A = this chain, B = another copy of it.
Amino acid sequence: MRDPEATLRQHDLPVTAQRIAVLRAVSGHPHATADDLTASVCGDLGTISRQSVYNVLNVLTDKGIIRRIQPADSPARYEDRIGDNHHHLVCRSCGRTEDVCCAVGEAPCLKAHSHHGFKIDEAEVIYWGTCPACQKKKRS
């Protein structure tokens, strides 16, 4: 994120210290949880309420400025890499989350075979596996 303040103005959002700090935290910590981000913002602003973190994350997500991903058995994670339809690779044991480029490119990147009359707008793909560190731990 080049300029959080400009980004907020571009989306007609009043500029506040909390919004700037959360936006910077999301930028600097891809796939972080609300808790991670709260910690990061506190190290920056000194303090922020839990509710404000959720408020800001919700409004930024609604505006499409950031993206929320919600893998099973994990609190929601956030990132500012948007618009490229990329997917995620998640470690089953430690939750480490990595970006995976979409092979197809444009969304929705997969056609559902039998779609039951649904109007499909997204094909969400999560690759599940074990990260290198956790593979080592398991073997030892």
Across the interface, A89 reaches (CB within 8 A) one of B101, B112, B126, namely B112
A124 — which chain B residues lie within 8 A by C-beta? 125-128
Cβ of A110 and Cβ of B129 under 8 Å apart? Answer: no
State how many angstroms separate the Cβ of A96 from the closest Cβ of chain B. 8
A46 — which chain B residues lie within 8 A by C-beta? none
Query: Does A113 interact with chain B (Cβ within 8 Å)?
Result: yes
Cβ of B100 and Cβ of A113 under 8 Å apart? Answer: yes
User: What 1/0 flags go to A68-108 for Cβ under 8 Å of B?
Assistant: 00101100100000000001010110000010110100001
- The complex places the Cα of A98 from the Cα of B112 at a distance, in Å, of 11
A110 — which chain B residues lie within 8 A by C-beta? 103, 125, 127
A72 — which chain B residues lie within 8 A by C-beta? 70, 76
Given A70-B73, A72-B70, A73-B70, the answer on whether A118 and B112 have CB atoms closer than 8 Å is no
Across the interface, A130 reaches (CB within 8 A) one of B76, B114, B118, B127, namely B118
Cβ of B115 and Cβ of A100 under 8 Å apart? Answer: yes
A87 — which chain B residues lie within 8 A by C-beta? 112
Name A's B-contacting residues (CB within 8 A): 70, 72-73, 76, 87, 89, 91-92, 98, 100-101, 103, 108, 110-132, 135
